[in-house]
Structure 1
Amino acid sequence: MIGNSSQSKILKHTARSDAEKARICAANNADLYQAVFRAHGLPDQRTSAFWSSDAIAPPYYSNMTTLDRNATEEQLVEIGRLTDRLGGRPGLKDGFSRLDLVNKGFRLLFSASWIWAEPHRISAPAPQDWVRIRDGAALQRWEHSWKQSGSPTDAKVFTLALLFDPDIHIYGRCAGGGFDAGCIVNRSPEAVGISNIFSLAGTPQVFRDAVSLATVAFSPELPLVGYDRDEALDAMTKLGFKPVGQLRIWLSDEDGL
């Protein structure tokens, strides 16, 4: 039975508008970006309007994520500054689908949905055969599998420093001395995020396992959040997540990715 304190917290989360939930999703995602960049020793800056970095981003990461749907003028100024600073057009995550950057030399890579699950609405035991990655050798094997699943790059994306961040948990499912599935869970003040879900076998069970791990990793009073599209979005909605807003990923129109 859920106590009065827990009930009041659930009601508080439920009463939030989709726009507020999208803001919390974007903030949680920016926290993960910040952790990854700092684990690489890369500089970053953050305001109420955006998170950004002047450094060359690790593969599959943007140089900027927006944090306020109404601060478009400030965000456009930062996009111009980053473009000048980096000598080209940086990758950008428009967290609220508010920026039209076609005329500024960008092309839309894809759109996706922020997703949200209320606390206590998803209940599942910790899955078997999954472990938290705790050392460099295991992280190397985990990243090798992650790249095989559809994120090919020769660069090192996840560094050892991430394992010492108390707000980041990296999980893998053990298989033959390595890992055949994985995910990352990150904690923010207002939510727990799930990202980088992969399965070499392509089984939908991996989504349920990732949600179970996120449920037990940090405070059960916090909502679970993330962003997905296509089949992954369908899988997460079947598990109890609801779309709460749209985001867009922009790349330079000159970028061949």
Structure 2
Amino acid sequence: MITDSHATSPLTAAVTNNAAWCDAVCRSHGVGGTTEGGVWASAQRTPPLYPDAVTLSPTATPDDVLPRIDLSSPGASVKDSFGTLDLSAAGFEVLFEARWIHRPATEPAPPRAGGWEPVVGAGRLLAWEAAWSGDGESEGLFRPALLDDGAVFLAPASTGSVTAGTDPVTADTHPVPAGAIAYPSAGVIGVSNLFAAGDDLDAAWRSCLGATDRLWPGVPVVGYEHGDDLAAALRHGFEPVGPLRVWLRTDG
């Protein structure tokens, strides 16, 4: 488990926050991780899209990572948080590269438009995941336990109604047009999984940052992005603070 502490630099804060979020998702699936030698790692294969290991120090080496994850079959992944590892000799390939981003607390808050609010209840969480997935389906990646673990799933305020006696798990599953995840840890708010119908990322960032400023006033926001998503974030007050690389094991 990642200890929550106030990190000393924007890069350290972003890395620590993201590792804590990965740990929270894994724990919600009953998968435990431990921190040792500048690496968070799980000996058990983690949920889809989440890494088996995350480096927490730029001095971490392959020997600090590989013995602590499951290499018995392809599919293991490592978040190389500082872009310093070479895991190619162990059968890994670079899945993608990105940039950590940081938005200072001194950055002016965007106009409070869009009406994004925290998702409440298992049914609305199912609808959120179905919209984020892009195919209208929810596989249960984001489990209700995360709502009790500090995670805030943001979306436009619900306009649906729930009839008395309706199953609370399947209730309120009308479509979610946009959203993001906000996770407070390490003295910052980590934003991830931002999406919007029609790919209107600028509108999504305005609404997301308006919500984070309202819920956690005066707290910096961090995350990581690449490509068009990175460009959109930079237009809304974020600054790139360091590289990262995600490795996927395709051999073995």
What range describes the TM-score normalised by the shorter chain of this pair? Answer: 0.7 to 0.9
Return the alpha-carbon distance in structure 2 between the equivalents of residues 66 and 153 of structure 1: 32
Report the counterpart of residue 3 of structure 2 in structure 1: none
Offset from partner CA, 1:50-82 (integer Å, 9 cap, x none):
11112222111111111011232xx53331331
| Structure 2 length-normalised TM | 0.83
Return the alpha-carbon distance in structure 2 between the equivalents of residues 116 and 97 of structure 1: 17
Say whether 1:53 aligns with 2:42.
Answer: yes
Q: Secondary structure at the match of 2:180?
A: strand
Moved more, 175-184 or 187-196: 175-184
Provide structure 1 residue ranges, at least 5 long, that are not aligned to the other structure: 1-12
Change (3 A) 1:83 1:55: closer
| Structure 1 length-normalised TM | 0.82
Report the counterpart of residue 38 of structure 1 in structure 2: 27
Change (3 A) 1:193 1:122: farther
Q: Which residue type is aligned with residue 62 of structure 1?
A: P
Return the alpha-carbon distance in structure 2 between the equivalents of residues 171 and 154 of structure 1: 17
Offset at 1:235? 0.7
Return the alpha-carbon distance in structure 2 between the equivalents of residues 135 and 206 of structure 1: 22
Return the alpha-carbon distance in structure 1 between the equivalents of residues 79 and 137 of structure 2: 20
Report the counterpart of residue 170 of structure 2 in structure 1: none
Return the alpha-carbon distance in structure 2 between the equivalents of residues 21 and 29 of structure 1: 12
Report the counterpart of residue 166 of structure 2 in structure 1: none
Change (3 A) 1:127 1:35: farther
Report the counterpart of residue 228 of structure 2 in structure 1: 231
Return the alpha-carbon distance in structure 2 between the equivalents of residues 138 and 83 of structure 1: 34
Say whether 1:168 aligns with 2:151.
Answer: yes
Report the counterpart of residue 108 of structure 1 in structure 2: 94
Aligned residues: percent identity? 29
Q: Secondary structure at the match of 1:211?
A: helix
Offset from partner CA, 1:173-207 (integer Å, 9 cap, x none):
25783201110001113211110101122112112
Return the alpha-carbon distance in structure 2 between the equivalents of residues 139 and 249 of structure 1: 27
Of 144, 150, 162, the match for 2:130: 144
Return the alpha-carbon distance in structure 2 between the equivalents of residues 180 and 161 of structure 1: 23
Return the alpha-carbon distance in structure 1 between the equivalents of residues 130 and 206 of structure 2: 22
Q: Which residue type is aligned with residue 237 of structure 1?
A: L
Change (3 A) 1:159 1:141: same
Say whether 1:124 aligns with 2:107.
Answer: no
Return the alpha-carbon distance in structure 1 between the equivalents of residues 36 and 211 of structure 2: 31
Offset from partner CA, 1:190-231 (integer Å, 9 cap, x none):
21111010112211211221222222222x332111000111
Q: Secondary structure at the match of 2:10?
A: helix
Contact 2:179 2:196 in 1 (8 A): yes
Return the alpha-carbon distance in structure 2 between the equivalents of residues 226 and 130 of structure 1: 19
Of 33, 52, 68, the match for 1:63: 52
Provide structure 2 residue ranges, at least 5 long, that are not aligned to the other structure: 1-6, 161-173
